Amino acid sequence: MKNNKKQSAAPSANNSRKHLAAKIYKYRGFYLMFLPVFIFAVIFFYLPMLGIRYAFTDYNGIKDPTFTGLANFEKMFSMPNFWSAFTNTLEISIIKLFLTVAVAVVVSIFLNEIANIHFKKVVQTIIYLPHFMSWVVTASVFSLILAPTSQGLVNTFLVEMGVVSADNMIYFLGDTKWWRFAYYLINIWKETGWQTVIFMATLSGINTELYEAASIDGAGRWGKMRYITFPALANTILTVLILNLAKVMNLFESAFVLQNDAVLGTANVLETYIYYQTFNSGAIPNYGYTTAVGLFKSIIGCVLVLFCNWLSKKVRDGRGIV
Amino acid sequence: MKSKKKIQVFPIVNGLIFIIISLIIIVPIWKILVDSFDLKTAYGMKLWPEEFGLTGYITVFKNPTMYQPLIISFITTICGTAVALILSTFGAYVLIQYDMPGRNFMANMLLFTMIFNGGMIPTYLVLKSLHLTNTLWVVILFPALNVYNLVLMRNFFEGIPASLFESATLDGCSPMQTFIRIVLPMSKAALASIGLMFAVSYWNDYTHYKLYITNSDLYNFQMKLRGMIMGSDSPAVTAGVTENTIKNAAIIIVILPFMILYPFLQKYFVKGVNIGAVKE
């Protein structure tokens, strides 16, 4: 759109080169301002990309890397732990995404029905809050509250209610049967409120005449919610799903701080698998192998981003996500 | 008649639902707050301290291994946010110069990093070979270039009327002068929104410390808290206070600065999300 500001091409090549040189000279101050950004991008993003070559080598950080072809990938595909981390990543990310968005949509629709503006503001302030707590704090809060001891709030409550016995408390974060359930609930607790921000913004844009017209046509509260409010959100829901689908492979911190050795089979995701294999395996790290796993993850992630970008352009009138 | 009755019942039920939702959010945080003041260990279901005392907090502030991480959290948050804002505003300002030769290359160079990256281990190896690991530089500088926030900033900047830039150029302003006299004053709300997002992520940073810092003298408070909760770094227990009380007090301390400022800053956070959603 802004590109049509470009001046018409100069008549001869020589002239255009002079013209370009003059332009570059004119913008010299801007190049200088971009320099720090450029340096940061090279150091933190582009130099690591060169490191991908280690994926095809045997490298432990001490001896020089030796080329081994696709051996790391063969090893990776034969490892059951790798496959479980891969499927866990997809399952946990995608279920988490759909759950939090679904809950956020329902909460937004009902939040929109609150007539008292002060009460609405107070509720919004409260439900946004957990988003700003770090994952470390969230994990700390819940490991104390879900503790399977008489000090844990939830287990004490369950004992009081007679659901579990005092000597058979549920170790939510240390039991493979319960871990994912707890993980999803903690995610809903932390992120649902903040997700409503974007939905509430869309709802505030609905023309109130639509509601009035529906009232005249005899639609009740449920009818209006079902036929006006919810459809108005459809585009935003799609946008949020696409934006987040592009990021499903990046799952790390939330899983990392909530997992422990007892639940790794069901809780280990690719990024945490790479972390443990490199830094916590007890042996000399095999950087070549973990770089290969990272490369596999990056490629899947890249394909997902490009797919979501394509999808976004298709359903959102040409607007991509990158 | 029937529909009239419905209208009276719904707001009450809806209000009750939201009171319950708010309680679900508040109770876990409230419970931590209460237990941080409770000197008796058997917390259970109590939502009020049984034996009130400040010993948990005093222990944290008296112990150098506890307050030093807090100081590191403050320093890295302030320095990091400053560097991050400089990079985001410089980058965004350059990206709105659509007539500048090489502008598209610069934009694509930044956007490509959102599609593909080297991954955890190559990044670690590069930072290690540059001797950035085990320094505070890495936790200040690495998160400072955030392409998503840079694009947000560019979206804000695009709303500045072009005529302002033209008149500044006619007045003989250099790019830097235009930036300081026009761009920055025109985008105070953007600076607040994006600056706050950066500040929160620096304060809450755990991943970068976990990956790149092994020297416990350089840990921030999130790392310290994590160590205490995992039991690998037991807090020094003094007379009259239990380990759990100290843990609860540590959680409250790390969320307190934000909790105090949050009601005043909320609108800036919300604004940041909405600009990103609308214009992206």
Query: What local confidence, expressed as pLDDT, does residue B135 receive?
Result: 96
Q: What is the pLDDT of residue B63?
A: 84
Please report the pLDDT score of residue B44 as a whole number: 67
Taking only the tens place, the pLDDT of each residue in B262-275 is: 888 888 888 877 76
Picking from A52, A127, A153, the nearest residue to B21 by CB comes out as A127
> Looking at the domain assignment, is residue A66 inside a domain?
no
Min Cα–Cα distance to chain A from B140, Å: 12
pLDDT (tens digit per residue) in A222-271: 888 888 888 889 888 988 898 888 889 999 999 999 998 889 999 999 99
Position A93 in a domain = yes
Query: Do A144 and A235 have their domain in common?
Result: yes
Burial of A314 (0-12, 13-18, 19+ CB in 10 A): exposed
ipTM: 0.90
For residues A112 and A53, membership in a common domain is answered with no
Residue A41 has its nearest CB partner, among B29, B109, B247, at: B109
pLDDT tens-digit readout, A5-53: 444 444 566 788 888 899 898 899 999 999 999 999 999 999 999 999 9
Last residue of a domain, one of A43, A58, A73: A58
Does residue A322 belong to any structural domain of this protein? no
Same domain membership, residue A253 and residue A129: yes
Q: What is the pLDDT of residue A75?
A: 94
B residues 57-86 near A, CB within 8 Å?
86
Residue B1 has pLDDT above 50, yes or no: no
**Hey, is the C-beta of B139 within 8 angstroms of any chain A C-beta?**
no
Give the residue from A3, A34, A50 with the most B CB atoms within 10 Å of its CB, the best one to mutate.
A34
Rounded to whole angstroms, how far apart are CA atoms B13 and B17?
A: 6
B8 touches A116 (CB < 8 A):
no
Q: Specify whether A123 is located in the same domain as A186.
A: yes
Closest chain A residue by Cα to residue B158: A2
**Contact between chains at A30 and B42 (C-beta distance less than 8 A):** no
Confidence of residue B162 (pLDDT cuts 50, 70, 90): confident
Structure tokens at B164: 């302002």
Structural domains present in chain B = 1-53 (no CATH), 55-279 (1.10.3720.10)
CA nearest to B199 within chain A: A132
Mind listing the pLDDT tens digit for each residue in A140-164?
999 989 988 888 889 988 988 888 8
Domain of residue A179, CATH code: 1.10.3720.10
Which pLDDT tens digit goes with each residue over A94-139?
999 999 999 999 999 999 989 899 999 999 999 999 999 999 999 9
Residue A298 lies in a domain: yes
A23 and B99: CB-CB below 8 Å? yes
* Domain containing residue A45: 10-58
Of the spans A162-171, B62-71, B131-140, which averages the highest pLDDT? B131-140
Residue range B34-75, pLDDT digits in tens: 988 888 766 667 788 888 888 889 888 888 888 899 999 999
pLDDT at B131 over 60: yes
- Residues in chain B, how many? 280
**Minimal CA separation from B188 to chain A, in Å:** 20
What is the per-residue pLDDT for A125?
A: 92
- Are A203 and A293 in the same domain? yes
Count of CA atoms in the C-beta half-sphere (13 A) of B162:
6
B5, B19, B103, B120: which to substitute to probe chain A, counting the most A Cβ within 10 Å? B120
Q: How far is Cα of residue B40 from the mean position of the Cα atoms in its chain?
A: 33
Spell out which residues of chain B touch residue A133, defining contact as CB-CB under 8 Å. Answer: 204, 255
Total structural domains in chain A? 2
> pLDDT by residue (tens digit) across A284-293?
889 999 999 9
Residue B52, SS3 per DSSP: strand
Tell me whether B114 touches chain A (CB under 8 Å).
Answer: yes
A51·B125 Cβ contact <8 A: yes
Find the residue in A nearest to B96 (Cα): A2
Name residues 183-202 of chain B within 8 A of A (Cβ). 200
Give the separation between CA A318 and CA B138, rounded to whole angstroms. 38
- pTM equals 0.90
State whether A51 and A136 are in the same domain. Answer: no
Instruction: Look at B26 and A126 and tell me if their CB atoms are within 8 Å.
Output: yes
Cβ-Cβ contacts under 8 Å for A79 (sequence gap 6 or more): none
pLDDT classification of B203: cutoffs 50, 70, 90:
very high
**Average confidence (pLDDT) over A205-212:** 86
